[in-house]
Structure 1
Amino acid sequence: MENEIFQLQYALDTFYFLICGALVMWMAAGFAMLEAGLVRSKNTTEILTKNVALYAISCIMYMVCGYAIMYGGDIMLATITGDGVTGAEEAATYAPSADFFFQVVFVATAMSIVSGAVAERMKLWAFLAFAVVMTGFIYPMEGSWTWGGNAVFGMYTLGDLGFSDFAGSGIVHMAGAAAALAGVLLLGARKGKYGPNGQVNAIPGANLPLATLGTFILWMGWFGFNGGSVLATASVESANSVAVVFMNTNAAAAGGLVAALAVARILFGKADLTMALNGALAGLVAITAEPSTPTALQATLFGAVGGVLVVFSILTLDKLKIDDPVGAISVHGVVGLLGLLLVPVTNDGSSFSGQIIGALTIFGWVFITSLIVWGVLKAVIGIRVSEEEEYEGVDLSECGMEAYPEFTTK
């Protein structure tokens, strides 16, 4: 009887884990639609190509070496069964291959963040070359120091210092933003984005319905992102925890959207849809570091703080002439840091000092290594398209086709 109960729990936990992984995979579609909606029509095909290709590259590189670096275990050549290779301590409750699948879609999420920030002026193959290094080495290394539990360069363990990141505000989102920031700094702004006298020229996206659809897809996928990080559901305790995480994830997104919409109305006198969309995503990022311990009201307030912060962050980056077409660095980087700093408010097992050291470790590692990789790519093959190609749109120069061929290229 006891064995039958274990088998049922094992099956339910594994099935739940896989479904959550599938929801996170669906976030790849959300990023693709969001970014496609926020770029100009002449750059749509290229950014869609980047999103589908980076997902495939992430899956291959994490299989080849990323998972082994992050957790240890021969994923590429092993036949993974219940008694096989695993890198997670909790793997006795679900299939180890489910753990790999759940982890690999997180890697793709981190890389998707980079895609939008460098949109409309980066060479496709330079981006894909960076994706190989990011998903195969840079991300798995910082993941090994956090979720993997290894000491940072053999010196200190972040967990022992009081660092906690439930589902990845820092480990996934801030890491992706750090890589994006390094690329944007070397890449430079789009032509015409900033005027000679310091003015910021708006470059509207081509398809706001697509951007809105992308946001809803991400919002939905985030239930798998945070809910799956509970790692189980086949007991009363874990089922209750999953329910709390789902509730708080949704509440934070709502709080972020309303707050960003209100701030945009105060600052601009209009209801800015793009700020509202980024506000929802900011709320989701803010709660990702700890969605299991806040009350619903606290989660809503945390999301609202993220929604307010992201508006001011986007405006500040523009003043600094850091051109991020989709606001990815603000949403995932600045608010990712906020999410880490909010953890000790409700989680006694963490500390502000541990969160700060963890954030500095993640950002420092990813930013510096990414800057090196981007720099090498810039020197060897170049990372930016020509001015003429940028004017005509990278769809034609990089992909040889337009997303909307019946439209006149502007």
Structure 2
Amino acid sequence: MFLRKSPTPVSRKTAIAVGAMVAVLAPSLAFAEEVELMTQFHGNVLWTLVAAILVFLMQAGFGCVEAGFTRAKSAGNIMMKNFLDFSAGSVIFFLFGFGVMFGVDASGFIGTSGFGLAGVAEGDLSWTYTFWFFQSVFAATAATIVSGGMAERTKFGSYIIVSIVLTGLIYPISGHWAWGSLWLGDDGAGWLEGLGFCDFAGSSVVHSVGGWIALAGAMVLGPRIGKYTEDGKAKAIPGHNIPLAGLGVFILWFGWFGFNPGSTTTADGSIGFIAMNTSLAACGGVLGAMVISWFRFGKPDISMTMNGALAGLVGITAGCATVSPGGSIIIGLIAGLLVVLSIEFIDKVLKIDDPVGASSVHGVCGAWGTLACGLFNTDGGLFYGGGVGLLGVQLIGVGVFFVWAFGTGYILMSVVKAIFGIRVKKDEELKGLDIAEHGSESYNGFQLFSNE
């Protein structure tokens, strides 16, 4: 037990001297404090900008993964959709989506200001520009997840409409519910935030939204030609370049160190902790997927193991700042197991053709990562004595994001299909979308053979 000592009496003469010294030093102390605040502010801006650039690089990672896991005859089309997602998505997010997601709140549902960054005070511009850029790469990530699930049979013109609506409306509205306060504070807070919903970097806000829309798109499109036999048995359609896909996974893993630690938007010691949790979960995902694929298929499957890394990364994204390192490993390990089982279930039982497993990696594992916060959060998680309160809120969030993203995605795909058509013709699909949609080949001079 520590006892506080009584203060030593101070003479009047000493007190006057100390007071005079404080008066002399006060301006210097105030200046030092102002310098410290400005240094921290500029450090925050710099870190957030660097993190956003890392997340931008993830577009290349997604492109490599999706192209590698699909056939050579549509590899260029995959890359085109990744360019389109970022380019058209950034413009529409600037003009409209950012305001919907982060503007002044209306009834907890939607933002109503900041369109085209109009009305932003001059003194706030340096941070607002940086924050917009950081959020724009997140919006592009949600959009590009969808392209993988719809690969090899989607009209490029129709996909442009899907991408624009996703980044301008579907993603920003649900994003406002969970993250609306990040720009304007309480003035922009959405209804899920009010419940205490936890999704630090976007397991649900970004990944589940993209994954569930990809699932809806794959359902509306129907399977690729030759994917299922007449009796409904699923046939594997191997990707044409597994090393390219592997490179893409490593690029995504690298970019995730901007995705998760960057979501602090603050240059402080927490970013190292979040980076550690992020990487441990990815490692757990690799091991989980490798082991279960080895057990189920007799050999450790390469593509499943790669998807396991992504599953672990998606799974930890919600709780990367709020769970322990040990919890991160468990979350990633379970995500790795789930992704293999989910890919098999969607492919063989539901008979939905998702060429890269986007709905499993991002939808299912995003939902798992969101629920995991209710179990593993060191402050409020069930396994840490927090009861079921947070877990209940997380369940609500998972359900809401599924209903919203899958529902609006299915409606969007159906409307586009009815008005413009969403699937290419049979001969175009057999020929490959590189030639049919873009008039060029990704591997000019190589002889490509169809496996139909």
User: How does the TM-score come out when normalised to structure 2?
Assistant: 0.84
- Could you tell me which amino acid in structure 1 is paired with residue 358 of structure 2? A
User: CA offset at residue 244 of structure 1?
Assistant: 0.8
Unaligned runs of 5+ residues in structure 1 are: 86-93, 151-155
Question: Given the alignment, which residue of 429, 435, 444 partners 1:390?
Answer: 429
**SS of 1:27's equivalent?**
helix
- Say whether 1:166 aligns with 2:200: yes
CA distances 1:224-253 after superposition (whole Å, capped 9, x unpaired): 0000111201xxxx31x1111000100000
- Say whether 1:200 aligns with 2:231: no
- Say whether 1:405 aligns with 2:444: yes
- Could you tell me which amino acid in structure 2 is paired with residue 84 of structure 1? D
**SS of 2:401's equivalent?**
helix
Work out whether residues 94 and 117 of structure 2, in 8 Å CA contact, stay in contact via their aligned partners in 1.
no
User: CA offset at residue 56 of structure 1?
Assistant: 0.3
User: CA offset at residue 159 of structure 1?
Assistant: 2.2
User: CA offset at residue 81 of structure 1?
Assistant: 7.1
**SS of 2:123's equivalent?**
coil
**SS of 1:401's equivalent?**
coil
Work out whether residues 213 and 409 of structure 2, in 8 Å CA contact, stay in contact via their aligned partners in 1.
yes
Distance between the aligned counterparts of 1:45 and 1:131, measured in 2?
18
Distance between the aligned counterparts of 2:129 and 2:121, measured in 1?
7
Larger Rg: 2
- Could you tell me which amino acid in structure 2 is paired with residue 262 of structure 1? V
Residue 336 of structure 2: aligned partner: 307
Question: Given the alignment, which residue of 249, 256, 260 partners 1:226?
Answer: 260
Deviates more, 1:367-376 or 1:28-37: 367-376
Distance between the aligned counterparts of 1:182 and 1:364, measured in 2?
11
- Could you tell me which amino acid in structure 2 is paired with residue 140 of structure 1? P
Deviates more, 1:389-398 or 1:65-74: 65-74
Identity rate, percent: 44
Work out whether residues 114 and 120 of structure 2, in 8 Å CA contact, stay in contact via their aligned partners in 1.
no
Distance between the aligned counterparts of 1:215 and 1:121, measured in 2?
23
How is 1:215-254 mapped onto 2 (pairs within 5 angstroms)?
Answer: 215-233=249-267, 238-239=268-269, 241-254=270-283
Question: Given the alignment, which residue of 94, 103, 114 partners 1:74?
Answer: 114
Question: Given the alignment, which residue of 365, 371, 381 partners 1:335?
Answer: 365
Residue 221 of structure 2: aligned partner: 187
How is 1:5-24 mapped onto 2 (pairs within 5 angstroms)?
Answer: 5-24=36-55
CA distances 1:326-352 after superposition (whole Å, capped 9, x unpaired): 011000001111001100223235711
How is 1:213-292 mapped onto 2 (pairs within 5 angstroms)?
Answer: 213-233=247-267, 238-239=268-269, 241-292=270-321
User: CA offset at residue 297 of structure 1?
Assistant: 2.1
User: CA offset at residue 372 of structure 1?
Assistant: 1.5
Distance between the aligned counterparts of 1:225 and 1:22, measured in 2?
10
Residue 91 of structure 1: aligned partner: none
- Could you tell me which amino acid in structure 2 is paired with residue 309 of structure 1? L
Distance between the aligned counterparts of 1:409 and 1:49, measured in 2?
20
Question: Given the alignment, which residue of 166, 170, 181 partners 1:134?
Answer: 166
Distance change in 2, residues 1:403/1:289 (3 Å): same
**SS of 1:84's equivalent?**
helix
Work out whether residues 32 and 51 of structure 1, in 8 Å CA contact, stay in contact via their aligned partners in 2.
yes
Residue 124 of structure 2: aligned partner: 84
Residue 293 of structure 1: aligned partner: 322
Work out whether residues 101 and 172 of structure 2, in 8 Å CA contact, stay in contact via their aligned partners in 1.
yes
Work out whether residues 153 and 424 of structure 2, in 8 Å CA contact, stay in contact via their aligned partners in 1.
yes
Residue 324 of structure 1: aligned partner: 354
- Could you tell me which amino acid in structure 1 is paired with residue 443 of structure 2? Y
Asked which structure has the greater RCO (Cα within 8 Å, sep 6+), the reply is: 1
- Could you tell me which amino acid in structure 1 is paired with residue 132 of structure 2? F
Residue 4 of structure 1: aligned partner: 35
- Could you tell me which amino acid in structure 2 is paired with residue 326 of structure 1? V
How is 1:94-105 mapped onto 2 (pairs within 5 angstroms)?
Answer: 95-105=127-137
- Say whether 1:346 aligns with 2:346: no
User: CA offset at residue 161 of structure 1?
Assistant: 2.3
Residue 117 of structure 1: aligned partner: 149
